[in-house]
Amino acid sequence: MNAIVINVGNSNIRFGLFNDDNCDLSWVINTKPYRTADELYVQMLMLYQTYKIEPKEIKKIIIGSVVPQLTKVMSAAIKKIHGIVPVIVDRNTPSGVQAKSKQMGTDIYANLVAAHHLYPGKKKIILDFGTALTASCVAEDGETLGVIIAPGIVTSLNSLISQTAQLPEIELKKPKSVLGLDTVTCMQSGMVYGFLGMVEGFIDRINEEVNSDCFVIATGGVSHVYKPLTDKIHIADRLHTLKGLYFLGKDLK
């Protein structure tokens, strides 16, 4: 079965083309909350042409969203392109994971579901480096053990730049040294090693609280920056959330 899975986030909308359980192709566009169905329709058709996707070959569309005003707009664009009604999944969609909270975001729930499916037999921590930085933990039997939400790394960087007169925009990457002598290196060190310390602290404290050595998955926009800098993160998977949405929606009609 060919399916397209769409993760509507606060900063980006990520699309994934799934052939059965494998994601063969993925692409990202920026989230604009006041985008119209016609705008999405045109942009999606252009991307389909770029990646040589035939709309008639797609049998299912699965949408998970944390931006309610875009969910209906995206659904309308999908109906116009494919002539099918998309499957909308959220924290109320049944799975092997117990959400345990009516406030849980669809993205966090999908992260837990993907971890439960892909890495059975152990407790898991999922670090999502998105607009917010989240750390969620799921037990071997699918019980949600809890979640941490902190300011996102790019969100914090943008706030720092916008609130200061002399700090420039920088590329978020490992600095030349921990102690910088130029503004860019100083800022890179603060953003990279500061948040790395936070992430490692989250992992240590969660492991202590759940009395386990959890398997740690990193996903989200800047996870690739942090994975090489610590052995506490076991795997980085930028498609992890999409996979969770796929598992939630693949058997729904």
- Active-site amino acid positions: 107
Whole-angstrom distance, CA of residue 173 vs CA of residue 206: 26
Residue 47, C-beta contacts closer than 8 angstroms, at least 6 positions apart: 15, 27, 29, 53
DSSP state string for 62-120: EEEES-HHHHHHHHHHHHHHHSSPPEEE-TTS--SSB---TT--HHHHHHHHHHHHHST
Q: What are the φ and ψ backbone dihedral angles of 122, each rounded to 5 degrees?
A: -155, 160
Other C-beta atoms within 10 Å of 68: how many?
9
Q: What are the φ and ψ backbone dihedral angles of 199, each rounded to 5 degrees?
A: -65, -45
In the chain, the DSSP E strands lie at: 2-8, 12-19, 22-30, 60-65, 87-89, 124-129, 132-138, 144-151, 215-219, 235-236
Whole-angstrom distance, CA of residue 232 vs CA of residue 200: 7
Q: What are the φ and ψ backbone dihedral angles of 130, each rounded to 5 degrees?
A: -110, -150
Whole-angstrom distance, CA of residue 176 vs CA of residue 229: 13
